[in-house]
Structure 1
Amino acid sequence: MRMYYFHRAVFAVLAVFSAAAAWAIDDATVAMTPVQVAPHSYFVQGQSALGSAANQNFISNAGFVVTDTSVVVIDALGSPALARKLLQEIRRITPKPVSHVLVTHYHADHIYGLQAFKDAGATIVAHRLGQEYLNSDTARLRLQASRQELFPWIDDSTRLVPADQWLDGATDLAIGGVQFQIRPAGPSHSPEDLVFYLPAERVLFAGDLVFRGRVPFVGQADSKHWITALDQLLKFDAQVIVPGHGPQSTSAKEDLTLTRDYLAHLRRAMGEAARNLEPFDEAYRKADWSRFEHLPLFNAANRMNAYNTYLLMEQERD
């Protein structure tokens, strides 16, 4: 019996130590520095890497806007710990509460932090099609895998959080004296893509329609409409574009071109193969990737991007 209680005490101490160690890692290994891109607009830049326990899934960007009355956050990052860290960074700039979180799309690296903002009292706004993802096997299985791959930052307490306000189309929101123009841009990177434009600041939060300085993650994207959506982004009078991944852009046309040209190249190479009934492996081997192969995450993402585009082009052919 004494041994039983001894083991229980040891496990309790280890549990406390593990929790303390996790928070120590949280403070020590993930740098997060807000970058001011306009008088009231900021963003934090995720790492150009795959999500891992070492980076706490800090692989995407999040923005925030300080209004007269509150703070509006754009995207919630890839873990609750990251969201809490972002809240701490916001508090270094302003004591105002976070009143809203605007979601560009429901991919894991942008929404696993939502529960921290929800617990802090924020209202979550997203496109209605995000409900399909939340109720899908894909979302359930992804969270299940993340609890293994990203532990302890994603664990059994991590939950998928629905929006409080689901949008169907173009919407303008006035929050604390700041006008947010919310425009659907999907189906592109995802069915529920939204972009957020602040005309007074001339800042566009573009989500994952724009990957700057790295190979995009295409997944099950509608690349044809994605290219059209990128052309539409140029119609905003944006001085600064905050992408979903990578540093801010002050040269919209130049920086949108990389994502657009990569998608177009995928469609040309894989489209020709699909039309000619050419096997994927042969088509991939023959394709010229020289313009893009130097980019970060090319080896991790390009083959899967090409294969998904090959399947998409087969469907478009039919």
Structure 2
Amino acid sequence: MENHYFTCEEVRPGVYAAIVKEGMGALGNAGFVNLGQVTLVFDTFALPQAAAELRATAESLTGNPVKYAVNSHYHGDHTNGNQLFKDCVIISTPKTKEKIAEAFAEQSLSERKTALINFLQKAEERIAGTENDQLRRSLEINLSDKRRQEEAMDLLEEILPTLLMENKLVLECSKRSVELHHFGCGHTCSDLIMYVPKEKVLFAGDLVLVDNHAWMGHGRPEEWLTILDRLAPFEIDAVIPGHGPVGGPEHIGKMKSYLKDMLSFVCAHKQKGLTAEEILLKPIPLKHAILNSAHMYERNVRFLSDYVEHAAISHS
């Protein structure tokens, strides 16, 4: 079946990746697994319309109803579609549930609309003044995504997880099992991964991205590195990332390199007394200069400039 918001790839028999289409508003990747008599969905996109399409596709391709939906972390690009799964068992950590609730409570609908409209206006101005082609392309995709979010804002409904896990949860079903693991604070204050042992597939959420700058500002980069180290014992043949195309186990190492390089890069310049604005005038570390989501690089430098100063850390 043709999908408007994502492309569907059967990574292994019964294990599917739902990779978002750029600028269509779904934002964060999702996926689903045929467990036998029921289906599990991993993450639920940023738009209810995309989530509806995800559920219809999952049930069509597996031939089974969706019983479980997993929230890898609290960010709306992975959880705003929960309302399409409110009749299912929605799984997360307690902290993720708490943060989803906080996100809805922080601003009223009118306040969220006003903030997003202001963002859209500033984004248009930023694009007009940007000479770097790669950055302009990234900003244009982000603007397109945000416009679709603004259009769907009236449709959003707060639906919280109903089954909470701490460290590990295994779902044993007739066709295959899946393992949910929570290793702590990395990309956010609470991130979980899903491992399909029979097919050796890792659903990484935003702990692993492929060919994209990774937003670092809601987590703890050093603990993120520790989490990635803890994936070493897993036999992994394919990685479904939070953003970017389906990857392989080598992308776990590339994610570690990105985090280490960004920390080292900012630390080195902070030790020379440079401000975030001055660091941003320097060339991007070469091997990361071609990554997508280029607008995240600036956000990361600003975050890390403050982070390394207050954490009193150094990297070489």
User: Where do 5+ consecutive residues of structure 2 fail to align?
Assistant: 118-146
Structure 2 counterparts to residues 153-172 of structure 1, below 5 A: 153-172=151-170
Give the whole-Å Cα distance in 2 for the aligned partners of 1:152 and 1:278.
37
Once the two structures are TM-superposed, the CA of residue 46 in structure 1 deviates from its matched residue by 1.1
SS of corresponding position for 1:308: helix
Distance 2:42 2:97 in 1: 18
- Residue 61 of structure 2 is aligned to residue 93 of structure 1: yes
1:272 aligns with 2:268: yes
Partner amino acid for 1:292? H
SS of equivalent to 1:76: coil
Partner of 1:22: none
The offset of 1:287, in angstroms, is: 5.5
State the alpha-carbon separation in 1 of the partners of residues 306 and 291 from structure 2.
Answer: 24
Instruction: Provide the secondary structure at the position in 2 that maps to 1:197.
Output: strand
- What does residue 97 of structure 2 align with? 131
Cα deviation 1:57-79 (Å, max 9, x = unaligned): 22221110112211100001111
C-alpha separation between the residues in 1 aligned to 2:288 and 2:71?
Answer: 29
- 1:1-318 alignment, distance < 5 Å: 30-48=4-22, 55=24, 57-118=25-86, 121-136=87-102, 140-141=106-107, 144-145=112-113, 149-150=147-148, 153-250=151-248, 252=249, 254-286=250-282, 288-298=284-294, 300-317=295-312
Length-normalised TM-score, structure 1 = 0.80
The structure with higher relative contact order (CA 8 Å, sep 6+) is 2
CA distance in 1 between partners of 2:53 and 2:184 (Å): 30
Name the SS of the counterpart of 2:184 in structure 1: coil
Task: Kindly provide the amino acid, as one letter, of the partner of residue 133 in structure 1.
Answer: K
* Paired-residue identity, %: 24
Say if 1:182 and 1:196, in contact at 8 Å, map to a contact too: yes
Q: Which runs of 5+ in 1 are unaligned?
A: 1-26, 50-54
Cα gap change, 1:267/1:168 in structure 2, threshold over 3 Å: closer, same or farther? same
Query: Which region of structure 1 is more displaced relative to structure 2, 229-238 or 68-77?
Result: 229-238
- In structure 2, the CA distance between the partners of 1:201 and 1:98, relative to structure 1 (3 Å rule), is same
Q: Distance in 1 between matches of 2:291 and 2:52?
A: 31
Greater C-alpha radius of gyration: 1
Do the aligned partners of residues 273 and 184 (structure 1) sit closer, same or farther apart at CA in structure 2, a change above 3 Å counting?
A: same
| RMSD (Å) for aligned C-alpha atoms | 2.5
Over 3 Å counting, the alpha-carbon distance change for 1:139 and 1:317 in structure 2 is farther
- Cα deviation for residue 229 of structure 1 reads 1.5
2:188 counterpart letter in structure 1: S
Report the equivalent of 1:15.
Answer: none
**1:152 CA drift (Å):** 6.1
Deviation at 1:175, TM superposition (A): 3.6
Poorly superposed stretches of 4+, deviation over 4 Å: 145-149
TM-score (norm 2): 0.81
Structure 1 residues 230, 109: closer, same or farther in 2, change over 3 A? same
Rounded Cα–Cα distance in structure 2 between residues aligned with 1:78 and 1:302: 22
Query: Could you tell me whether the CA contact under 8 Å between 1:33 and 1:89 is conserved in 2?
Result: no
Query: Do 1:80 and 1:153's aligned partners in 2 also have CA atoms closer than 8 Å?
Result: no
CA distance in 2, matches of 1:165, 1:136: 18
Q: Deviations over 1:105-159 (max 9, x none)?
A: 11111111110111xx211000111133124358744972487543565223312
Query: What's the secondary structure of 1:113's corresponding residue?
Result: helix
